[in-house]
């Protein structure tokens, strides 16, 4: 009895720990433990449940996902979207397959989406959510890089797939973000935020791709009881289908090896493989457990783990003051490459590992790509937390937010903050001043040439000193001056982004400028309510803007810059804003515009607003097929909203096309 009580106590502890980790990862896009640690705890809980015959309420082994926290509309799935049972043993895959044939494919690491088509048109896209209820993201799905908006098939089609952001796009987007704390941790986090945007203009810039992996419904189509035939049919309709190989129990090991050898070159993030029976009827006959379907199984890579010794912790400072720990250890070979560094992410993870200099640690590559610490075998816990910033020597402070402890430099004059701040200001999407790398900025800051943004436009005062600096010369200085002169003629959106206001990216800066009709003073004196009324600007961003402009120092710095630069935004006049206050929805094919985005741009230039779904706040639905039985037409008719053609819309705006 005592053993059973101990087991149940451990199970309760594991359920709590795993639920908190899952909530942080799936709802809040942050990590409080490594994937390796999560899998180990999950397997321990699963083994205890089998041994005791008990499954506790809230166990992640029987629950799928977590409750949703967002402002997106919610919708229940017609059938639950289940997780997959998993194994790390290739022989287990062969035994599971038996005498049947199967399809082995990538298990992509993104966000699962359900798409619905009717009459050949995409009518709905819903995220997996908690498996029972998802978030409606139809307008965002319409701007994915590769989703067909119209297909040849005219019946009702329902399919599932994974929305992902490729590694190449992930690195490109992160390269434009200043400060290690502001960068996205992995492609999945970036994808989750991109797919669930309230403003699909941001989604469109992220280059999200969709890969189909399951056909749920296609009325009237014969697939010869074959999953592969479904995949081939989906390809014919214009969908990108997850890469797969047809396998038997005798060939599955070779196929797994083939996938493994291509992980390093695979641009699509994955965290394993999926094996599914090709025989549809057989798979369905197996039914499901409380959490898993029995027609498919996931294969997780058996991580290659190496033992090494921790040399030291490198503390990396950023422009926001966050100081991140990076573990530096004796080099080891992992998955064919030499690694010697791994991010520890924050103080909470560092403390949970009880790290100390000289500790014997085990390391691996998460998903065979990202170096991570698996465990600390020594656990000396002798690692001191710096009381002084590694860059400026100023005092540090430990802050706890959402149960995660992080280290910050609290010196407002910290050089790291300055250099990173100036680096963002001169970056391509901001003021676009060539010739000012971080290394060059560091020289100028050290020399006292640059203390605030406006100093960057007065570098001619220090010409003689600059041309005598190592790596610089008269030609470099002349090129720099030419770039500075060009930067004086810019857009308000570039300027606002360059200020470095927390959570304001290049896309959000454009949204803000447009909302305040390119009037900088209106923006900086806006109230929280005014800001929250703008699509895509929630309370967090609104608070960041208010906080920034409540600082006299920030306002004075902005004023000095405004005396030096000129905005060339085309500010719409009141006379041209003939659609102000009007909300439109555009659906179907367009004839007078290159695409619906061009129609949207015209509406917004005339002061109107375009949304993705018909609601009581919609003024007009633009659809050239007024008699269509589409869901948007039906909704508009139910609400008494006028359905107009492009011709009627153009007549309304009196535009010559």
Contact 275, 102 (CB under 8 A): yes
For strands 489-490 and 566-567, give the pairing.
parallel
Q: Is 227 helix (H, G, I), strand (E, B) or coil?
A: helix
Separation between Cα atoms, residue 281 and residue 226, nearest integer Å: 9
Q: Which entry of 23, 86, 100, 107 is annotated as an active-site residue? A: 107
| 255/11 Cα distance (integer angstroms) | 37
> Are 382 and 357 a contacting pair, CB within 8 Å?
yes
Count other C-beta atoms under 10 Å from residue 400's C-beta: 10
E strand map for 450-512 = 489-490
Could you give the angle at the alpha carbon of 530 between the alpha carbons of 529 and 536, nearest 5°? 95
Please write down the HEC assignment for all residues of 261-299.
HCCCCCCCCEEEEEEEECEHHHHHHCCECCCCECCEEEE
Which residue from 534, 541, 507 is spatially nearest to 609, judged by alpha carbons?
Answer: 534
Rounded Cα distance between 192 and 188, Å, is 6
Could you give the 3-state DSSP secondary structure of residue 302? coil
Q: What share of the chain is helix, strand, coil (3-state, %, to 5)?
A: 35, 20, 40
Q: Are strands 102-108 and 270-277 parallel, antiparallel or unpaired?
A: antiparallel
107 catalytically annotated: yes
- CA-closest candidate to residue 147, choices 238, 280, 14, 273: 238
Residues marked as catalytic: 107
């Amino acid at each position: 009895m005592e053993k059973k009580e101990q087991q149940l106590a451990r199970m309760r502890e594991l359920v709590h720990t795993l639920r908190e980790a899952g909530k942080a990862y799936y709802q809040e896009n942050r990590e409080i433990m490594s994937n390796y640690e999560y899998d180990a705890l999950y397997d321990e809980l699963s083994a205890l449940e089998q041994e005791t015959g008990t499954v506790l309420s809230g166990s992640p082994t029987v629950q799928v996902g977590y409750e949703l926290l967002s402002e997106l509309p919610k919708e229940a799935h017609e059938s639950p979207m289940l997780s997959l049972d998993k194994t790390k043993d290739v022989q287990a895959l062969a035994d599971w397959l038996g005498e049947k044939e199967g399809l082995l494919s990538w298990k992509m690491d993104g966000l699962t989406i359900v798409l619905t088509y009717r009459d050949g048109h995409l009518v709905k896209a819903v995220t997996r959510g908690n498996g029972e209820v998802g978030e409606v993201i139809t307008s965002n799905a319409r701007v994915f890089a590769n989703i067909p908006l119209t297909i040849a098939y005219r019946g009702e089609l329902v399919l599932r797939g994974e929305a992902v952001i490729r590694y190449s796009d992930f690195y490109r987007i992160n390269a434009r973000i200043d400060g290690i704390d502001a960068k996205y941790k992995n492609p999945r986090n970036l994808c989750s935020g991109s797919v669930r945007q309230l403003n699909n203009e941001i989604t469109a810039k992220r280059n999200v791709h969709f890969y189909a992996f399951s056909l749920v419904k296609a009325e009237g189509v014969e697939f010869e009881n074959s999953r592969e035939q479904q995949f081939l049919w989906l390809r014919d309709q214009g969908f990108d289908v997850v890469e797969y190989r047809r396998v038997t129990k005798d060939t599955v090991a070779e196929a797994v090896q083939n996938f493994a050898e291509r992980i390093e070159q695979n641009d699509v993030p994955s965290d394993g493989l999926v094996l599914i029976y090709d025989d549809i009827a057989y798979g369905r006959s197996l039914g499901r457990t409380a959490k898993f379907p029995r027609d498919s199984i996931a294969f997780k890579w058996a991580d290659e783990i190496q033992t090494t010794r921790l040399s030291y912790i490198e503390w990396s400072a950023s422009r926001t003051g966050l100081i991140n720990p990076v573990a530096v250890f004796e080099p080891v070979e992992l998955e064919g490459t030499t690694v010697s560094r791994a991010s520890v992410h924050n103080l909470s993870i560092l403390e949970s590992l009880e790290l100390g200099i000289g500790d014997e640690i085990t390391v691996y590559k998460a998903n065979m790509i990202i170096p991570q610490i698996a465990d600390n075998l020594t656990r000396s816990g002798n690692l001191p937390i710096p009381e002084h910033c590694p860059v400026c020597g100023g005092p540090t402070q430990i802050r706890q937010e959402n149960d995660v402890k992080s280290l910050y430099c609290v010196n407002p004059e910290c050089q790291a903050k300055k250099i990173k701040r100036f680096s963002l200001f001169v970056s391509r999407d901001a003021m676009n001043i060539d010739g000012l790398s971080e290394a060059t900025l560091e020289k100028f800051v050290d020399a006292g040439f640059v203390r605030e943004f406006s100093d960057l436009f007065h570098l001619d005062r220090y010409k003689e000193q600059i041309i005598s600096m190592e790596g610089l010369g008269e030609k470099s200085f002349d090129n720099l001056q030419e770039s500075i002169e060009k930067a004086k003629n810019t857009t308000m959106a570039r300027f606002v982004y360059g200020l470095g206001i927390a959570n304001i990216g290049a896309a959000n800066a454009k949204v803000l400028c447009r909302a305040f009709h390119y009037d900088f003073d209106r923006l900086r004196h806006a109230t929280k309510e005014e800001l929250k009324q703008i699509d895509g600007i929630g309370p967090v961003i609104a608070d960041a803007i208010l906080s920034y402009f409540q600082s006299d120092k920030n306002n004075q710095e902005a004023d000095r810059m405004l005396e030096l630069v000129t905005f060339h935004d085309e500010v719409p006049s009141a006379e041209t804003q003939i659609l102000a206050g009007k909300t439109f929805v555009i659906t179907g094919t367009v004839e007078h515009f290159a695409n619906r985005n061009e129609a949207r741009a015209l509406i917004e230039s005339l002061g109107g607003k375009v949304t993705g779904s018909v609601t009581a706040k919609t003024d007009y639905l633009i659809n050239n097929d007024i008699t269509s039985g589409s869901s948007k037409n039906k909704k508009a008719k139910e609400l008494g909203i006028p359905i107009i053609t492009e011709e009627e819309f153009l007549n309304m705006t009196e535009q010559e096309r």
